Amino acid sequence: MDTPTDDAAITVRGVVTRFGRQTIHDGLDLTVPRGEILGVVGGSGTGKTVLLRTIIGLQRPAAGSVTLLGQPVSWDGSSTRALAGRFGMLFQDGALFSALTVGQNIQVAMRERGDLPQVLMDELARLKVELVGLPPDACGKYPSQLSGGMRKRAGLARALSLDPEVVFLDEPTAGLDPIGASAFDELILDLRDALGLTVVMVTHDLDSLARICDRIAVLVDKKILTGTMAELARHPHPWIQEYFHGPRARAAFATVRVGGG
Amino acid sequence: MRQRSDDPMGDTLSMLERDGALYLRLTGRWTLEVARTADRQLREVAERAVPRVVVDASGLAALDSAGAWAIRRTVARLDARGVAVDLTGLPERFHAIFAKVRLPDPSTEVAPPDRNPILALLENCGRAVEHGARVGRALLGFLGFALVNLAGALVNPRRLRVTAIIAQIEATGVNAIPIVGLLCFLVGIVLAYMGALQLERFGATILTVNLVGVSVLREIGILLTAIIVAGRSGSAFAAQIGTMKVNQEVDALETMGLSTMDVLVLPRLIAMMIALPALTVFGDAMGLLGGAVVALFLLDLSVGQFITQLVGAVDIWDFGTGLIKAPVFAVVIALVGCYDGLKVSGSAESVGRYTTQAVVESIFLVIVLNAGFAVAFAELGI
Ligand SMILES: Nc1ncnc2c1ncn2[C@@H]1O[C@H](COP(=O)(O)OP(=O)(O)OP(=O)(O)O)[C@@H](O)[C@H]1O
Ligand SMILES: [Mg+2]
């Protein structure tokens, strides 16, 4: 577990993150093998978003190292450029380019490659819109003309625009209706099965965790504990106990086997 | 994982035409790379005149949505043209993604349509004129609404938010003192210096004091101050209120039963009506000081001579005509800023657009109104 292996999509070693005098992560380790769907949970403000930003090279930690798809992350933009198109990120509140239509948002990364014919890019943009379950006319709309849930889907369509190997999803199903949310889960599963996609997904949606995540990473005490749902359900930490055995959890897991839980 | 091979098509797509049927063999990694390189070829295949096409997908090693799309599109096009298509051997694990890649309606727009540039220019001109007229009317309406509310608040002072007003006076007035002072001082110097150079030729350098006194008090002081404040605070009003609109804070206020007018507009309006006249007095003084510096050091006048000449040159009405304009400009700047801020909707981009618009509109209105005042005062003979 300590040496970064070739088949690990993401390796995080000893990451320490501070804002002023507030320490968010304190020697955090995480390994995500290729093809895994990892759910990240933790209370509000425990640094889930900050962790994703650290992994994709947006937030420089005070100490520690990150390897993404075999490339050491350098936090100065160079590793991000080297990995362009191989990972995608769905930001917590969409972060769509407001001056561009949804279709153009999806095409930004494709256009950056510079070698795709416009017809193909248009087809692919419509396809991604269809794929994430947006109505076809959403393609020509501006983000401000969409609802919150639709913006989320548009953000996912953009994250998937180049069929990346790893996607980071920051609360993808928050704000979706339950039917839409489970269709979203199915979509993630299908993409993983077809493409070997690696998914790191911050979520508070217990149903998603139970249905599609292979392992779960819990952010507690500035560190990460990982394990399958069954393993974590037996963990003695009080927050984890509360999380997996609270009333909401019991309802969500009633239909799923929680192993010894 | 995604190497670009030198000849990606060679090992991913092979074709064979035999017995009137076209056999396609898909092998290797069908990803975006292949969708791109084989794009032309697949489109040709889709239009090819053959009675039957057999696609053998058993050799696929990887399939992403772009690759699946390229296959799906070709098959669908052939199908639509009445060609018999057999897709065989698609590995089990790709069924899900292949099924996901449905055919979207090709007619939906991805980008806004391009327009004829000349027609677009004409159309934009027309829209701009119509828009200007509508903004003018709406601003008048907003002015009336604000003044009614202002009167209501003055009658019922509990509606006045004193803390907010004081904070706004600090932001728009006190914090603007250095820049207003410096700019008025510099313009006073330039005015006196240029005036002295011209008047020297008539041996009337002493009249420089009259020139500076009258123009600073009647025009320069108030106009310069109003333009600086429009640029500093008119834009700030629009940006602050606009950001609150985008974050739905304005909606939250309304939902809690608070009036946007009372909470956001009136404090800014009142603060501006206090700050701008005060700044104008200060700007006038600094402009005269600039003139005095030139008079004392370049024209070798004494302080006493300067003051006597100045008092003889200007009367209280020169000061008064300048100062009368200040509250009017204050209303214009504050209301245009607030109005444009409240017009912001949807995206962060529109905050920028309306902020710019607020500055342009308020400076435009200040200068136009100033011209109107000049004509009116001339007619009235003051
Ligand atoms: N740029 C920043 N400057 C200072 N503090 C920050 C910054 N970004 C995040 N923080 C702090 O870091 C902590 C973690 O923030 P983060 O956004 O990662 O929370 P989160 O776990 O994603 O929470 P949520 O579930 O609410 O999205 C918070 O306490 C936040 O105040
Ligand atoms: Mg977050």
pLDDT per residue as tens digits for the range B303-352: 899 999 999 988 888 899 999 999 999 999 999 999 999 999 877 888 99
Q: Do residue A54 and residue A131 come from a single domain?
A: no
- Give the ligand 1 atom nearest the CA of A46: 21
Closest CA of chain A from B73, distance in Å: 10
Which residues share a beta bridge with A223? A220
pLDDT at A6 over 70: no
Q: Does B32 touch chain A (CB under 8 A)?
A: yes
* Residue B6 confidence class, pLDDT cut points 50, 70, 90: very low
Q: Do residue A170 and residue A245 come from a single domain?
A: yes
Tell me the per-residue pLDDT of B73-129, one tens digit each, with 9 for 90 and over: 888 888 888 888 888 888 888 888 888 787 776 677 777 777 888 999 999 999 999
pLDDT at B2 over 60: no
Closest CA of chain B from A249, distance in Å: 30
How many angstroms does the Cα of residue A133 sit away from the middle of ligand 2?
24
Q: Do residue A169 and residue A248 come from a single domain?
A: yes
Q: Does A137 touch chain B (CB under 8 A)?
A: yes
Last residue within a domain, chosen from A112, A131, A160: A160
Which residue range forms the structural domain that includes residue A248?
1-86+164-261
Tell me the per-residue pLDDT of B262-305, one tens digit each, with 9 for 90 and over: 889 999 999 999 999 999 999 999 999 999 999 999 888 888 99
Predicted confidence at residue A255, as pLDDT, reads 58
Task: Give yes or no for a contact between A159 and A197, defined as CB atoms under 8 angstroms apart.
Answer: no
Which residues share a beta bridge with A215? A38
Q: Do residue A175 and residue A261 come from a single domain?
A: yes
Task: Give yes or no for a contact between B68 and B46, defined as CB atoms under 8 angstroms apart.
Answer: no
**Percentage helix, strand, coil, to 5, in chain A?**
40, 25, 35
Q: Please enumerate in sequence order all residues whose Cβ is within 8 A of that of B358, keeping only pairs 6 or more positions apart, or say none.
A: B234, B235, B237, B238, B336, B337, B339, B340, B341
Taking residues B249-264, report their average pLDDT: 84
CB contact (8 A) between residue A196 and residue B35:
no
Predicted confidence at residue B10, as pLDDT, reads 53
Taking residues B47-59, report their average pLDDT: 88
Tell me the per-residue pLDDT of B187-211, one tens digit each, with 9 for 90 and over: 999 999 999 999 989 888 889 999 9
| Percent of chain A clearing pLDDT 90 (strictly above) | 31
Give contacts of B112 with chain A, Cβ < 8 Å. Answer: 101, 140
d(CA B280, CA B219): 11
How many C-beta atoms surround the C-beta of residue B103 within 10 A?
16
Tell me the per-residue pLDDT of B27-46, one tens digit each, with 9 for 90 and over: 888 888 888 888 888 888 88
* Residue A253 confidence class, pLDDT cut points 50, 70, 90: low
Task: Give yes or no for a contact between A96 and A154, defined as CB atoms under 8 angstroms apart.
Answer: yes
Would you list the DSSP string of B31-98? SHHHHHHTHHHHHHHHH---SEEEEEEEEEEEE-HHHHHHHHHHHHHHHHTT-EEEEE---GGGHHHH
Last residue within a domain, chosen from A140, A160, A180: A160
| Percent of chain B clearing pLDDT 90 (strictly above) | 52
pLDDT at A116 over 60: yes
d(CA B83, CA B75): 9
Q: Do residue A77 and residue A120 come from a single domain?
A: no
C-beta of A46 in contact with ligand 1 (< 6 A): yes
Predicted confidence at residue B12, as pLDDT, reads 82
* Residue A258 confidence class, pLDDT cut points 50, 70, 90: very low
Highest mean predicted confidence (pLDDT) among B62-66, B117-121, B253-257: B117-121
Going by alpha carbons, the residue nearest to atom 18 of ligand 1 is A47
Q: Do residue A68 and residue A192 come from a single domain?
A: yes
Going by alpha carbons, the residue nearest to atom 6 of ligand 1 is A19
C-beta of A41 in contact with ligand 1 (< 6 A): no
d(CA A155, CA A151): 6
CB contact (8 A) between residue A195 and residue B112:
no
How many angstroms does the Cα of residue A47 sit away from the middle of ligand 2?
7
Q: Do residue A155 and residue A227 come from a single domain?
A: no
How many domains would you assign to chain A? 2
- Give the ligand 1 atom nearest the CA of A42: 21
Q: Do residue A38 and residue A109 come from a single domain?
A: no
Angle, in degrees to the nearest 10, between helices A178-195 and A148-159: 0
Tell me the per-residue pLDDT of B158-183, one tens digit each, with 9 for 90 and over: 888 899 999 999 999 999 999 999 99
Q: Do residue A71 and residue A99 come from a single domain?
A: no
pLDDT at A256 over 60: no
Q: Does A82 touch chain B (CB under 8 A)?
A: no
CB contact (8 A) between residue A191 and residue B97:
yes
Least confident of A92-106, A246-260, B71-85: A246-260
Q: Does B247 touch chain A (CB under 8 A)?
A: no
Give contacts of A135 with chain B, Cβ < 8 Å. Answer: none
- Domains annotated for chain B, with CATH where assigned, are 13-100 (3.30.750.24), 143-380 (no CATH)
Long-range contacts of the stretch B45-51 (C-beta < 8 A, 24+): B45/B15, B45/B74, B45/B78, B46/B73, B46/B74, B46/B77, B46/B78, B46/B81, B47/B77, B47/B81, B48/B22, B50/B17, B50/B20, B50/B21, B50/B22, B50/B83, B51/B20, B51/B21, B51/B83, B51/B84
Predicted confidence at residue B222, as pLDDT, reads 95
Last residue within a domain, chosen from A160, A184, A199: A160
Q: Do residue A80 and residue A98 come from a single domain?
A: no
Tell me the per-residue pLDDT of A118-170, one tens digit each, with 9 for 90 and over: 888 999 999 989 888 888 899 999 988 888 888 888 998 898 888 888 999 99
Q: Do residue A52 and residue A138 come from a single domain?
A: no
Q: Do residue A177 and residue A153 come from a single domain?
A: no
Predicted confidence at residue B103, as pLDDT, reads 73
Q: In the 8-state DSSP scheme, what is residue B367?
A: H
Predicted confidence at residue B234, as pLDDT, reads 95
Q: Does B109 touch chain A (CB under 8 A)?
A: yes
What is the CATH classification number for the domain harbouring A232? 3.40.50.300
Q: Which member of A99, A143, A163 has the closest CB to residue B65?
A: A163
